[in-house]
Chain A
Amino acid sequence: QEQLLESGGGVVQPGRSLGLSCEASGISFSSSGMHWVRQAPGKGLEWVAGIWYDGSKIDYSDSLKGRVTISRDNSKNKLFLEMNDVSPEDTAVFYCVRGEGGSGLGVFDIWGQGTLVTVSA
């Protein structure tokens, strides 16, 4: 069964950092481009970052560049996201998503169940 399972969500204080993980199972993770997508309450989907299958290319949303870092460990079938200096506007459900092919630059065909990050004092 193809599955992406996020972890690391919860309550984070403003100005602190958050770290999310995503463990893949049932897919060829090391051959897949991967992404993080978030959805703030009452808002639409927002792409956060993407990473090629081998980590050789990484792209970030212009609005978040400089505050986020995406990485992966293919030996553990895991994807990671770090976000610094969070604010209440970063409150969102974060989804781990598989993209098409090794670059991930196509359809988002597998989504995790999402992990909720709440930024609050």
Chain B
Amino acid sequence: SYELTQPPSVSVSPGQTATITCSGDGLDGKYTYWYQHKPGQSPVVVIYKDSKRPSGIPERFSGSNSGDTATLTISGTLPIDEGDYHCQTWDISTAIFGGGTKLTVL
């Protein structure tokens, strides 16, 4: 079955750029979606179809997908960006999530 791999944790200083990767075989042949999940809240999509940003999501969030790796980039990271980030794709009609990455801003 298809798998997505994320680093368990990423740390970044405020104002710096955070990079979260998501790896899977031939991932650039699929769309990747990114969800932000803060404690006590429901997940929120921050990037869809590799690089599109929903309305209301700050411009500091961007995404790319090349080869076997999709990347979520947060430029000028703020403390409010701290939380878990999950990548997701589709394997035909099955949704596949990565294991999630805990982003710490300190």
Contacts and interface: CB of A to CB of B under 8 A. Distances in A.
A43 B37 CA distance: 12
B92 to A, nearest CB: 9
B100 A44 contact: yes
Interface string B72-106: 00000000000000101010011111111000000
A109 B98 CA distance: 18
A47 B96 contact: yes
B48 A107 contact: yes
Interface string A92-121: 000100000001011111011110000000
Contacts of B93: 50, 57, 59, 103, 105
A20 B15 CA distance: 42
A12 B95 CA distance: 27
B43 to A, nearest CB: 5
Contact of A107 (B45, B97, B100): B45
B87 to A, nearest CB: 10
Contact of A114 (B42, B88, B90, B99): B42
A46 interface: yes
Nearest to B47: A107
Contacts, number: 59
Q: How large is the interface on B (under 10, 10 to 19, 20 to 34, 35 or more residues)?
A: 20 to 34
A37 B97 CA distance: 10
Contacts of B1: 62
Contact of A47 (B31, B44, B45, B95): B95
A47 B95 CA distance: 6
B64 to A, nearest CB: 17
A45 B86 CA distance: 7
Contacts of B88: 45, 47, 108
B80 to A, nearest CB: 19
Contacts of B100: 43-45
Interface in B7-55: 31, 33, 35, 37, 42-45, 48-49, 54
6 contacts: A44-B97, A47-B96, A50-B93, A107-B33, A108-B43, A111-B42
